[in-house]
Amino acid sequence: MGAYIARRVLALIPLLIIVSFIVFSLSQLLPGDPARVIAGGQKATPEGIAKAREELHLNKPFIQQYGIWLGNAARGDLGTSFFDHETVAQSIAQRFPVTLSLALGALVLTILIGLPLGILAAVRQGSFVDRMVTASSSVALAMPDFWLGMILLLIFAVNLQVLPSRGYIPLTDSPAGWATHLYLPWIAMGVPGGAGLARQVRGAMIDALEQDYVRTAESKGLRRRLVVFKHALKNASLAPVTVLGIGFAYMLGGSVIIEQIFTLNGMGRYFYLALFNKDLPVIQGVVLLSALIFVVLNLAVDIFYAYLNPKVRLG
């Protein structure tokens, strides 16, 4: 197992270099001159622009600029924002706990909804329960998380006024306030995710329950519950694990609209404001972190695959 993990980690190094090069290349796609922005925009003087270009290493060849930026990024230096003049790494460190809290809560809700419903629909295939789970999951999948978020906001925050509509309280300040401010975003992101997971679990469990080893276990007199949860579920978990891994990466990197709706000062809102202001260092830093998260989560899924199925690591 250790050798397999080492091989997977080494295989990620070229991928991370390619990703970092693509992220840095964003500087060539944005309109305008970053040096002019730093030097004062329309009020910039030629001397100020020249000084800013030297500070940003824009007077060097592109490959050399990339090498300097990559070296700084490897040390945790992602540059300084053009607009608030704060270091990008520090700003990300302040905002990442908000997005992480949002994603973890939505992931837990996704599992709590999708796993039992998928198993229930599979073991009662063709029944009324199965049809209800399939129909409700189809409806939930058709609802965008931001649309569901606005409906929840209107009902529970505006009309009933039982939950806050915006803001964030750190977990260390008040656990109850932390959860209360995140209930609605969790539901908005967790319900569609749970619907997708339920469909994946249902399909995988149906295939697993039709395998010969399951029939053999049942013919030996093992209890149905033991066969389902000990034998079938483990072998049916490969596809759902992929869904959870990709879904969690999306929750971490794709929560822009949800954070805007509920005024959560997390990574998504930080990235949105950076796009609006054409703040290049912030855009590069957030995109690089998001890509790193996707790579790490894919590695975690691969390792879990190898744990569940020894054929994967032997191959």
Q: How many other C-beta atoms can be found within 10 angstroms of the C-beta atom of residue 266?
A: 25
Burial of 192 (0-12, 13-18, 19+ CB in 10 A): buried
199/60 same-domain check: no
Q: How many other C-beta atoms can be found within 10 angstroms of the C-beta atom of residue 27?
A: 18
Instruction: Name the nearest CA neighbour of 301 among 95, 5, 2.
Output: 5
59/107 same-domain check: no
| 313 has a pLDDT exceeding 60 | no
pLDDT the model gives residue 33: 65
Whether residue 32 lies inside any domain: the answer is yes
47/180 same-domain check: no
pLDDT tens by residue, 25-60: 876 666 666 666 666 666 777 777 777 777 777 778
101/235 same-domain check: yes
269/141 same-domain check: yes
- CA 243 to chain centroid, in Å, comes to 12
pLDDT tens by residue, 234-275: 778 877 888 888 888 888 876 788 988 898 988 888 988 888
CA–CA gap between residue 118 and residue 173 (Å, rounded): 37
The neighbouring-strand residues paired with 194 are none
**Average pLDDT of the residues of the chain:** 84
Q: Model-level pTM?
A: 0.84
CA–CA gap between residue 201 and residue 191 (Å, rounded): 15
pLDDT tens by residue, 72-109: 888 888 888 877 888 999 999 999 999 999 999 999 99
| 133 has a pLDDT exceeding 70 | yes
pLDDT the model gives residue 119: 92
119/220 same-domain check: yes
Burial of 91 (0-12, 13-18, 19+ CB in 10 A): buried
Least confident of 52-61, 113-122, 123-132: 52-61
pLDDT the model gives residue 208: 86
Whether residue 84 lies inside any domain: the answer is no
pLDDT the model gives residue 191: 93
pLDDT the model gives residue 40: 65
pLDDT the model gives residue 232: 83
254/115 same-domain check: yes
Whether residue 259 lies inside any domain: the answer is yes
Q: Which residue has the higher pLDDT, 145 or 33?
A: 145
pLDDT the model gives residue 31: 63
pLDDT tens by residue, 199-232: 999 998 998 888 888 888 777 777 888 888 877 8
Whether residue 79 lies inside any domain: the answer is no
Question: Residue 63 is part of which domain span?
Answer: 2-74
Q: Do residues 265 and 95 touch, judged by C-beta distance below 8 A?
A: yes
100/228 same-domain check: yes
DSSP state at residue 231: I
141/62 same-domain check: no
When divided into structural domains, the chain yields a total of 2
CA torsion 144→150→151→152, rounded to 10°? Answer: 110
Q: Which amino acid is at 136?
A: S
24/100 same-domain check: no
Structure tokens at 85: 């003049």
Domain finish residue from 45, 74, 103: 74
| CA dist 20 → 15, 54, 256, 307 (Å) | 9, 22, 22, 30
